[in-house]
Structures are given as structure tokens and as C-alpha cells.
Structure 1
């Protein structure tokens, strides 16, 4: 007989009610995961659809792979792997004759692949430099010092990109290597190419200094003319524009500060003492802010 206080059908009804609820919850979680994945893929596709986004993603892969390669090749990491392997063998989880495969060569290969892909894409780098130079000639900066610095930067970048392209194509057999060897060889061309890049970085410090001076002068003039009638909307717009201007200035300064010592290191055959293990870290830090902004720019993508 069934207990009158606990009918036999009650447990069955509760279990039947729980099953659809659990199933519905799992479906919602699956749908949310698929939606998040879809939005992420769409944002990544939008990021990679622009040249700057492609460069930032490839550079990040390049630098992170470099960091992982040097990490897995470092003595502390090898010692840790050895100790873990000994512990695993003592517990009988790994046969004695089995050696775990090292991943450092894979990271080095990925780093090399990303770097070479960036070299290939930069073969077209002279085109935007032409546009930059043409726009500078057509609409030069009002400040004569900034105008002169911009012209010098354009020239430095053209030297950098032209020498890099010729050296890279010569290393691939596209351009006569005899011509390149006549003027020092591929390694020498790479060094002079890097010196052209360092010229841009060097002049950029003066550009940032001059922009800071002009901004202070402009703000002082605005404070002197504070008696003019301004609406709250105008003040808010000016404040936001100033905030974005200062943010862009700081972003450029951070990028320059990280690249300057590394680029100077590459300007000399023997370098200036920066170890290879630090190259990936410094390079990543130089572009991290830009990567963040590029990714944030894709936030408009919706499911």
C-alpha cells in the first residue's frame, strides 16, 4: 500500500518536472556559449579585415611565440620539467623509456612563420608611405617644426621599408643577391633598414615634445579667453577631445619608449646587450596598447 502522506505519484511528478528544467538550463547555457563564440569570431574577423588589425594580431602571435620559445628553453623550465618527469615515473604514470616531446621548437617555428608573414605583408608598405608623404606635401602641418619633423620621418620610413624589401626579396632569390652582396650583403641591408626605422623613432620623440608644447600653448590661450560665452555642450566636447588627444599622445610615447632601446640594439651587429629572451617581451609591451584599442574598436559587433 502507498503511504497516504507521500503518494507514490508525487516523486515521479517531481522528477519529471526537474528533467525539462535541467534540459532547458543546459540549452540556455549552450546557446549563450555559441552566441559568445559567434560574437568573438565576428570581432576577430572584423579586426583581421583591416591592415592594422592583421599586423597587430600577427605581431602578437610573433611576440608571444618568442616568449614561450625562450621560456621552454630556459634552465628553470627544463629543471621543472625534469622534476615533474621524475615524479611521474616514480608514481608509475610514465614509462621510463618515454621522453616528453619538447614544444620549444614548435614555438620557434610559429614565431618564424608569423615574422615571415609580416615581412611579406610589409612588401606593400611603400604604398601608405607614398600617401603619407603626398598628404604632408599637400596639407603640411601648420607648425614649421612639426612639418620638418614629419618630412624627416617620411624619408626615414621610406629608407627603412625600401632597404628591408630589397634585402628580404634578395634572401628569397627574387632580387639578384649579387647586387645586394656588392653593397654589404643582406645582413648589412637589414642593419641599415633598422637604422632608418630608428630614425623614425628618434624624430618621434621630438614630435611628441613639440605636440606637448603646442598643446600647453593652446590651453593657455583658451584659459586667457575664458571670458567668451561657451555652452556646457561645447565645454564637454572640448574636454573629451582633449582627453582623447592626451591619450593618443601617451600611447605614442609608450610605444616609442619600448621600441627605442630594442631598435637601437638591432642597429649594431653585436647589439647593445639586450638578450634574445627579452625581445618578445619588450616588443609585446610596445604594441599591447594598440592591440587593446584595435580589439576595443570591434566592440560594436553584436550577435
Structure 2
């Protein structure tokens, strides 16, 4: 038996050109989205202003402390230095030249042979902007560190009044205080002499300003070496404590068999342990980054670290600390 015939499609309604006139359509034939309403614009503007207000207040909180201010200035100092050498690298320079050539071809009006516009020769070469910014921030940090002996005094005083329980760590910390005082004193004298505040002839008797900066960095290197020793000692002490806490071995009377009791840590103890491990790793990363730079700057001829990497490595040394300092401002925003 034959299937019933399918009903014919209903006739299409003719399109009224007067109704469709004035309705913008995209190439696909669909209507463009309506413009945002004033209420939506006000909401978006208010949200943007609120986000900006929170960010500015967090930045102000970060800059209100000496440590936060140093972290931000150091990040600008080292990132601008690293960015300069990144943009001056061969690959990026070739990309910039290619882009300039493309823009020049698009912009030229006459049908002449294409040529790359040459930069006018400068009579007095100036420092590149990013290096100039890095130098400015670096000098600002030198100036602020003129007061660096004050927190070092506080650090030493607190160590003497409440010394670490472990005698090895206590002696290491006292040596670190001494190394930092020597470092900061030598740097301050050299910096003031370079600005003409202190007579240079006094420093010239002991090798000049360059030698004072060199020995200042060597004192900093001493602090870095001692920090490796302190971190190793802290790790050894922590491992010994964990073994004592997790296993309590008791020997039964008259029997050589040993029984082991596993001590479960509370949630607070596990969180404290996690934060302690994170703090230890952060200090280790910071020290690993500074160690090769301190060795390089402590030698008159350097240790082979290229200038193009010093800013990047220095930025890595403080990136973790800056990240934590920024996150800490979220509670006060």
C-alpha cells in the first residue's frame, strides 16, 4: 500500500521591505545585538571603579611597609632591566624590523622601492628608557638603604634577647647579622662618597669606591653562604623531630619485640607544618638565585654571568616573596 503523500510546505510569507528596512544585519543574515542599556553601562562602570579601588588600596597597603616598598621597587628595578635585554635580543630585534618594514610598506604613498626608514643619528647617545628606569629605581633603593643599619640593629638585638634554641643556628644568625652590618656599612660609605658627601680621598687609601662596593658584595656573599648552612641545619632538625613525633618505639619488658605507635597530627599541626615547609623552600629559592650573582659581583672580572641575565635572575629571587606580600594585602582591602 502506498504511503500517503506528504503535505506541501506552507507558503513563505513575503518579506516586507519596509519592515526590514533599518534593521542592521551581519553578513550571516542575523540581527546585530542591541546596544547596552544605560543600566548595564552604569553597572560595568561601577564594577570597574570598585575593582580599581580595591587594587589601589592593596597597593597602598603593600607600599606602607619598608619590606613591601623594597619588594615593589626591586621588582620594577629588575624587571625593567630584564625587559630591556629581552627587547634588545636578536630575535625580538628582527621581529621589530620586520614589523617596521610592513608598516612602512602600508603607509607609503608613492610607488617607490621600499626601504626601511633609518633612525636619525644622535649627537649624544642617551641611555635606553628601560635601563634608565632601572638605574633610577636602583639609586632610589641605595638611598633608602642608608637607613638599613636600623633594622639590622633590631634584628641583632632580638636575636640576643630571644636566641634560637639550637646553638648552631644561634651562632649562624649572629654571624649573619655581623655580615649584613659589614655589607651595609661598606655600601653606605661608598654610596655617600660617590655622591660627594664623604671625601673620596679617604676611600682611595683602601682601593677606592669600587673596592668598597666589591667588599660590600663579598660580605653579602658571606650572608648567603651562611644562609645555606642555616637552612641545612633547620632541615636536619625538622627531620629529627618528625621521626620522634611519628614513631614512639617502646620495648616490652622481658621481650625483645618492639611495637610502633603512629602519632596522628591534628589539622592545625599539619597546616603549620605545610607553612613551615613553604617558608623554608621560599628562602632556599631566594638563596639559590642570589648565590651565583653574589659570586659574580664579588669578583673583579666577574664569574661569567651575562648582564642580560642578572636582572632576570634577581627578579626571580624576590618574585615568590612579592607574590606572598601581595596576597597578604587581600585581607586588608
1: CA distance, partners of 2:219 / 2:108 = 55
Aligned pair 1:45/2:60, yes or no?
A: yes
Aligned to 2:323: 292
Find the structure with the greater CA-based Rg.
2
Structure 1 residue 104, shift from structure 2 partner: 7.1
Q: Which of residues 76, 80, 83 is equivalent to 1:61?
A: 76
- Which aligned segments of 4 or more residues in structure 1 are displaced greater than 3 angstroms? 93-104, 224-228
2: CA distance, partners of 1:86 / 1:142 = 67
Deviations 1:48-98 (A, max 9, x none): 000011001000100111012212333333222222222222222599767
Structure 1 residue 46, shift from structure 2 partner: 0.2
Greater Cα offset, 93-102 or 26-35 = 93-102
1: CA distance, partners of 2:299 / 2:59 = 37
Aligned to 1:23: 38
2: CA distance, partners of 1:85 / 1:210 = 57
Aligned pair 1:120/2:143, yes or no?
A: yes
Asked if structure 2 preserves the Cα contact closer than 8 Å seen for 1:39 and 1:301, the reply is no
Aligned pair 1:171/2:162, yes or no?
A: no
Asked if structure 2 preserves the Cα contact closer than 8 Å seen for 1:72 and 1:103, the reply is no
Greater Cα offset, 79-88 or 124-133 = 79-88
Q: Which of residues 76, 83, 91 is equivalent to 2:106?
A: 91
Aligned pair 1:111/2:126, yes or no?
A: no
Q: Which of residues 69, 79, 93 is equivalent to 1:78?
A: 93
- With CA pairs under 8 Å and 6+ residues apart, which has the higher RCO, 1 or 2? 1
2: CA distance, partners of 1:71 / 1:253 = 27
2: CA distance, partners of 1:288 / 1:154 = 24
TM alignment of 1:260-299, pairs within 5 A: 260-299=291-330
Aligned to 2:267: 236
Structure 2, unaligned runs of 5 or more: 1-18, 20-33, 110-114, 250-259
The change in CA–CA distance for 1:93 and 1:164 in structure 2 (over 3 A counts) is: farther
Aligned CA-pair RMSD: 2.7
Greater Cα offset, 240-249 or 90-99 = 90-99
Structure 1 residue 220, shift from structure 2 partner: 1.5
The aligned length equals 284
Q: TM-score scaled by structure 2?
A: 0.79
Aligned to 2:161: 138
2: CA distance, partners of 1:277 / 1:60 = 16
Match of 2:330, SS state, is coil
Greater Cα offset, 67-76 or 175-184 = 67-76
Structure 1 residue 262, shift from structure 2 partner: 0.8
Q: TM-score scaled by structure 1?
A: 0.87
1: CA distance, partners of 2:147 / 2:172 = 24
The change in CA–CA distance for 1:257 and 1:93 in structure 2 (over 3 A counts) is: farther
Greater Cα offset, 278-287 or 104-113 = 104-113
Aligned pair 1:200/2:213, yes or no?
A: no
Structure 1, unaligned runs of 5 or more: 1-7, 9-17
The change in CA–CA distance for 1:130 and 1:285 in structure 2 (over 3 A counts) is: same
Asked if structure 2 preserves the Cα contact closer than 8 Å seen for 1:63 and 1:283, the reply is yes
Aligned to 1:220: 243
The change in CA–CA distance for 1:225 and 1:157 in structure 2 (over 3 A counts) is: same
